[in-house]
Amino acid sequence: MTAPRGAVTSLPARRWPRRLAIFLVVAVLVIVPTGGRLYSFPHTDTLADGETVDAILALGGRTETALYAQQLVEQGGASVLIVSDPYPTDDPDFQPVHDLCASKPTDYQLICFRPDPMTTRGEARELGRLAQENDWDRVGVVAAKYHISRTRSIVDRCYPGTLLMIEAPLSIRPLNWTYQYVRQTLGYVKVALQDGC
C-alpha cells in the first residue's frame, strides 16, 4: 500500500538509531584527528632566553594563565602585562587574578580590562586597540593549549603585528579534554560565521 500523494512519510523507528550511530562515527572520525592537531598538539611559540615582546596578554578563563603571563613578564619577557579579567568579583577561585589586577608593580606596566564582549573576540579587540595606541609590533598571548589555535585565528583578525601564542602550563583532566574538543569545535564554527575583528 502506497501513501497518498502529498503525505509525509517517516522512516521506521528502527532506522533512527542506525543513522544516529553512523553520524556519531563520522563525527568522531572527523573531529578527533582534526581536533588532535588543533587542540592537543597546536603550533605554539616560546620566548627564548633574552627574547622579548612589547606586551604579553593573559586570556581570561584560567587563573593559571594570568599567573604564568605574570611570571614571563617578571622574567623580562615584556615590559607590559595585560590581563583579561572577566571573572565575578565574589568568586574565590579567581581571587588571585583580582589581587594581581589590584597590585601596583614597579618593574613593568600592568593593564587589566574587562573584555567586551566577554569572549576571546573581546580580548582580541582590546589587544588590537592597545597595540595600535602604543605602536606594539610584537606581542605574546598566553592561553590554554586547547585554546591556542582558535585564539590565533581570532587575534590575527584584530592585530596585524607579530603574534606569539604561548601555552600556559596547565594540568588538563581527560574529561575536560572531551569537553574542550566539543567547545572549541563549536567555537570554530562561530568564528567562521563572523566577519572582521
Give the CATH fold of the 55-193 domain. Answer: Rossmann fold (3.40.50)
pLDDT at residue 121 greater than cutoff 90: yes
38-77 pLDDT, tens digit per residue, is 565 678 888 888 899 999 999 987 899 999 999 999 999 9
Mean pLDDT of 106-111: 97
- Edge-to-edge, what's the strand order for the sheet holding 162-167? 109-113, 80-84, 55-58, 138-143, 162-167
CA distance 67 to 171: 14
Residue with the bigger pLDDT between 1 and 154: it is: 154
Please state the pTM of the whole predicted model. 0.78
Per-residue pLDDT, 186: 72
Mean pLDDT of 32-40: 54
pLDDT at residue 81 greater than cutoff 70: yes
pLDDT at residue 6 greater than cutoff 60: no
157-195 pLDDT, tens digit per residue, is 999 999 999 999 977 777 666 666 677 777 766 777 788
The percentage of residues in the chain with a pLDDT greater than 70, rounded to a whole number, is 74
pLDDT at residue 29 greater than cutoff 60: no
The grid coordinates of residue 135 equal 605602536
Flag the least confident range among 89-103, 108-122, 170-184: 170-184
Residue with the bigger pLDDT between 48 and 27: it is: 48
Domain boundaries, the chain: 55-193
Task: Please state the length of the chain.
Answer: 197
State how far Cα 53 lies from the chain centre.
20
Per-residue pLDDT, 39: 60
Work out the pLDDT band at 12, boundaries 50, 70, 90. low
Per-residue pLDDT, 48: 84
Q: Is 10 exposed, middle or buried, given 0-12, 13-18 or 19+ CB atoms closer than 10 A?
A: exposed
The answer to whether the CB of 45 falls within 8 A of the CB of 140 is yes
Work out the pLDDT band at 115, boundaries 50, 70, 90. very high
Per-residue pLDDT, 137: 96
Mean pLDDT of 5-18: 58
